[in-house]
Structure 1
Amino acid sequence: MTWTVPNILTVLRLFAAPGVAVMFLFFARPWADWFALVLFVVAAVTDWFDGYIAREFNQESRFGAMLDPIADKAMVVIALLVITGFSGMNPWILLPATVILFREVFVSGLREFLGATSSTLKVTKLAKWKTTAQMVAIAVLFSTGVFEHHFAERVHGMDAEMVGAILSGTIPDELGLGALIWGEQATFLAGTVLLWIAAALTAITGWDYFSKARPYLMDGSE
């Protein structure tokens, strides 16, 4: 392989995938949420840049074509595992995450089985939109953890009565608790909606790939 800029960015994105989970092993929240969010967003942006550079400067390669979707899937799968775990297995997160994980494993298995004919399952524009929706949803849900744990830090030592009085306006909200609660709820709602949209696109593209592969799955097919 040639170490072109697109290939280097793709390799870095691949290594960033487990880095998202590692943040929660070495840092306390909300700093772990911040670091994971920044790392994930930067890695997601490189996904656009490496493709653009490869096309614009004629640096496309077989290595990049092979590794790029692997890096994307690793990022999405690991980030979803982290988010699902820290959401307390919330069914609104768990169900779309399960659809996404199932589809990614299923399509990867199809490509492996088809071998030389796997070119039948070329990445479509809808599949690219699917990946974008997944990454945006994940980034928004990571930001939910940021708001949640900054709120927890600021109310540390307060009793429930005082927190309620601040949020109701009885006591001046000098700590910005209302804004943090609003940010947590807004990002969770937006992230969940986006994740369901991503899951729907994921299911549609998965069925599309399966339909294209069906002729090669029949007994007696070449």
Structure 2
Amino acid sequence: MLSSLPNLLTLSRIVVIPLLLASLFLPGKLASWVPLGLFVAAGITDFLDGYFARRYRQTSKLGRFLDPVADKLLVASVLLFLVGIGRIGTWDLIPAVIILCREIMVSGLREYLAELRVGLPSSKLAKWKTTAQIFALCFLLGGPAVAEQFDAIIIGQVLLWMAGLLTVWTGYDYLRLGLQHMIEDEQ
């Protein structure tokens, strides 16, 4: 099932990571436009893999595993790299670390709950968190290319803080639900 279109689209998000990160070293505005384009393309594949999997009934265990892993690898690597090149500054490390910690916690929680055969579906608020996070990363990636027109980095930083706050909220919700199942399992 690895060669199904949905799984290939998911794998493309993992394959694009080194290209995206390397493109941040291109000269001039290319160092903003190319990584932004690759990141947006990866986001489109995230939508398309789910769409094609449902539309053509090509859902698989591999796909259910790979999809969130690809998303987390992409976001984590971009966040860390943006810190490394200085587009995420000292104070903005706070929401970036919160986002990374929540992703690790939710992954561990999902793994534990899978053993209990309990799913942990994504909430509407978690989708808003993801949206804020994606837009934040887009503004932070592309910001220097439009610096003469407006300060996209500031917009990215504000969105990163919004995503961080939503991350705390959704992380708490997931942890609370997970703990309920853990307590029930011990009784």
TM-score (ref. length: structure 2): 0.87
The CA RMSD over aligned residues, in Å, is 2.3
The answer as to whether partners of 2:87 and 2:140 remain within 8 angstroms in 1 is: no
Deviation at 1:127, TM superposition (A): 2.1
The answer as to whether partners of 1:127 and 1:205 remain within 8 angstroms in 2 is: yes
Give matches, 1:186-201, under 5 Å. 187-201=152-166
The answer as to whether partners of 2:98 and 2:167 remain within 8 angstroms in 1 is: yes
Deviation at 1:71, TM superposition (A): 0.7
The answer as to whether partners of 2:2 and 2:8 remain within 8 angstroms in 1 is: no
Q: Secondary structure, in 3 states, of the residue corresponding to 1:53?
A: helix
Deviation at 1:219, TM superposition (A): 9.9
Per-residue deviation, residues 59-79 of structure 1 (Å, max 9, x unmatched): 222111111111111111111
Q: Does 1:144 align with 2:143?
A: yes
Q: Does 1:109 align with 2:108?
A: yes
| Aligned residue pairs, count | 187
Alignment correspondent of 2:177: 212
The answer as to whether partners of 2:21 and 2:81 remain within 8 angstroms in 1 is: yes
The answer as to whether partners of 2:96 and 2:164 remain within 8 angstroms in 1 is: yes
Q: Does 1:42 align with 2:52?
A: no
Report the AA paired with residue 209 of structure 1. Y
The answer as to whether partners of 1:96 and 1:195 remain within 8 angstroms in 2 is: yes
Q: How much identity, in percent, do the aligned residues show?
A: 40
Compared CA separation, residues 191 and 4, structure 1 to 2 (3 A): same
Deviation at 1:20, TM superposition (A): 1.9
- Structure 1, 208-217 or 85-94: larger mean CA deviation: 85-94
Q: Secondary structure, in 3 states, of the residue corresponding to 2:24?
A: helix
Per-residue deviation, residues 140-190 of structure 1 (Å, max 9, x unmatched): 111113235xxxxxxxxxxxxxxxxxxxxxxxxxxxxxxx1x42x2x1222
The answer as to whether partners of 1:4 and 1:59 remain within 8 angstroms in 2 is: yes
CA distance in 2, matches of 1:13, 1:85: 21
Compared CA separation, residues 58 and 210, structure 1 to 2 (3 A): same
CA distance in 1, matches of 2:24, 2:101: 25
Deviation at 1:120, TM superposition (A): 3.2
Bigger Rg, which one:
1
Compared CA separation, residues 64 and 94, structure 1 to 2 (3 A): same
Alignment correspondent of 1:162: none
Per-residue deviation, residues 171-211 of structure 1 (Å, max 9, x unmatched): xxxxxxxxx1x42x2x1222112111111222122111111
Give matches, 1:172-187, under 5 Å. 180=148, 182-183=149-150, 185=151, 187=152
The answer as to whether partners of 1:10 and 1:50 remain within 8 angstroms in 2 is: yes
Deviation at 1:101, TM superposition (A): 0.9
Which structure 1 residue ranges, 5 or more long, are not aligned?
A: 149-179
Which structure 2 residue ranges, 5 or more long, are not aligned?
A: none
CA distance in 1, matches of 2:111, 2:178: 12
Alignment correspondent of 2:53: 54
Alignment correspondent of 1:10: 10
